[in-house]
């Protein structure tokens, strides 16, 4: 197994991905050919089951885009299944302590480092070296979403096998008492974001954030490297809204149609 996303992060490069919660392989097939470094298939809030997530990753075959799954929870049974169907890594929600990070690592790794059982159905189907390389190549990223996670972040990131941390800005804002949507001009909220960047730098890990079209430049300038920008739902709605607005303007315009 060779994970180009993990290699880019190891070398200090910034990567750009996007979220997909629309459960159809056509979505990941199209987006994976645009130039994203990675696609995050969202099993936490998205409605997809394991079968759907598998075909969504299969549709990415032949692209340079890496499939990562966000499982419903930091659960070894769920993590084992998403890795066995071919995910190159996991983004794990609600990691609040070193112990939880250690448990996540164990769930991702084969013995003696972990407890992952052998049975990589699709992941090992065409890879004779999967067992020998998986422990090193699976990307393990944890989400920072609470005050507890901020308080324990140095200990969480001291877990050697954790590769990256990622801010869920909405949950973090809500759990800090600032509500939803995040108040990006709230000094204490921005201090929390800076805290994540500093802790990641001290630990030699990559930090990322769920960014939008409006603040992705800000995120990159801040030093975030493991980023996503918007999501498939937003792309669909934004494009449809633009087309509809243009059509309505054209319908009421006295100008001749533009062909």
Question: Would you state the pLDDT for residue 259?
Answer: 63
Q: Is 45 a catalytic residue?
A: yes
Confirm whether 259 is domain-assigned. Answer: no
Rounded to an integer, what distance in angstroms lies between the CA atom of residue 246 and that of residue 213?
Answer: 20
> For 112-117, what is the mean pLDDT?
98
Confirm whether 26 is domain-assigned. Answer: yes
Assign 157 a pLDDT band (cuts: 50, 70, 90): very high
How many domains, in total, are found in the chain? 1
Confirm whether 61 is domain-assigned. Answer: yes
Confirm whether 258 is domain-assigned. Answer: no
Rounded to an integer, what distance in angstroms lies between the CA atom of residue 154 and that of residue 63?
Answer: 36
> For 100-115, what is the mean pLDDT?
98
Rounded to an integer, what distance in angstroms lies between the CA atom of residue 173 and that of residue 168?
Answer: 8
128 alpha carbon, distance to own chain's centre? 27
Question: Would you state the pLDDT for residue 252?
Answer: 76
* Residue 254 in this model has a pLDDT that exceeds 60: no
Give the single-character DSSP code of 75.
-
pLDDT digits (tens, 9 = 90+) for 24-38: 999 999 999 999 999
Count of CB atoms situated within 10 Å of the CB of 131:
13
CB burial of 174-209 (b: ≥16 within 10 Å; e: otherwise) equals: bbbebeeebeeeeeebeebbeebbebbeebebbbbb
Percent of the chain predicted with pLDDT > 70: 97
Give the count of alpha carbons within 13 A of 77, CB side only: 0
- Nearest to residue 66, comparing CAs of 49, 87, 83? 87
Q: Which one from 2, 45, 217, 246 is the annotated catalytic residue?
A: 45
Confirm whether 58 is domain-assigned. Answer: yes
Question: Would you state the pLDDT for residue 130?
Answer: 98
- Nearest to residue 223, comparing CAs of 202, 208, 213? 208
* Residue 253 in this model has a pLDDT that exceeds 90: no
Q: Which two tokens stand for residue 3?
A: 């994970």
Question: Would you state the pLDDT for residue 205?
Answer: 98
pLDDT digits (tens, 9 = 90+) for 180-213: 999 999 999 999 999 999 999 999 999 999 999 9
pLDDT digits (tens, 9 = 90+) for 123-141: 999 999 999 999 999 999 9
pTM of the predicted structure, to 2 decimals: 0.95
pLDDT digits (tens, 9 = 90+) for 43-83: 999 999 999 999 999 999 999 999 999 999 999 999 999 99
Residue with tokens 């979403």: 145
Give the Å distances, CA to CA, from 52 to 18, 47, 55, 81, 212: 18, 9, 5, 13, 26
Confirm whether 175 is domain-assigned. Answer: yes
Rounded to an integer, what distance in angstroms lies between the CA atom of residue 232 and that of residue 236?
Answer: 6
* Residue 88 in this model has a pLDDT that exceeds 70: yes
Rounded to an integer, what distance in angstroms lies between the CA atom of residue 150 and that of residue 172?
Answer: 10
Confirm whether 257 is domain-assigned. Answer: no
Range of the domain at 199: 4-252
Rounded to an integer, what distance in angstroms lies between the CA atom of residue 171 and that of residue 180?
Answer: 8
Q: Pairing relation of β-strands 164-167 and 206-211?
A: parallel
Assign 258 a pLDDT band (cuts: 50, 70, 90): low
CATH at residue 165? 3.20.20.60
Question: Would you state the pLDDT for residue 251?
Answer: 82
Residue with tokens 């189907």: 125
Give the single-character DSSP code of 26.
H
């Amino acid at each position: 197994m060779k994970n180009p996303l993990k290699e880019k992060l190891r070398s200090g490069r910034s990567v750009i991905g996007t979220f997909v919660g629309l459960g159809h392989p056509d979505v990941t097939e199209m987006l994976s050919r645009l130039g994203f470094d990675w696609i995050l298939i969202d099993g936490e809030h998205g409605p997809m089951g394991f079968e759907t997530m598998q075909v969504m990753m299969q549709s990415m075959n032949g692209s340079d885009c890496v499939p990562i799954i966000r499982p419903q929870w930091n659960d070894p049974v769920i993590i084992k299944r998403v890795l066995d169907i071919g995910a190159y890594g996991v983004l794990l929600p609600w990691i609040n302590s070193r112990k939880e990070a250690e448990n996540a690592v164990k769930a991702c790794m084969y013995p003696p480092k972990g407890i992952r059982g052998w049975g990589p159905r699709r992941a090992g189907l065409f890879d004779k070296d999967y067992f020998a390389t998986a422990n090193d190549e699976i990307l393990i990223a944890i989400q920072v979403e609470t005050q507890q996670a901020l308080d324990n972040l140095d200990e969480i990131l001291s877990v050697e096998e954790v590769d990256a941390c990622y801010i869920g800005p909405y949950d973090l804002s809500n759990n800090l008492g600032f509500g939803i949507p995040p108040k990006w001009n709230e000094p204490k909220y921005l201090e929390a974001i800076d805290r994540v960047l500093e802790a990641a730098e001290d630990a030699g890990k990559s930090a990322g954030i769920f960014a939008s079209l409006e603040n992705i430049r800000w995120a990159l300038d801040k030093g975030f490297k493991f980023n996503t920008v918007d999501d498939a739902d937003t792309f669909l709605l934004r494009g449809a809204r633009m087309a509809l607005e243009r059509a309505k303007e054209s319908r009421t315009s006295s100008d001749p149609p533009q062909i």
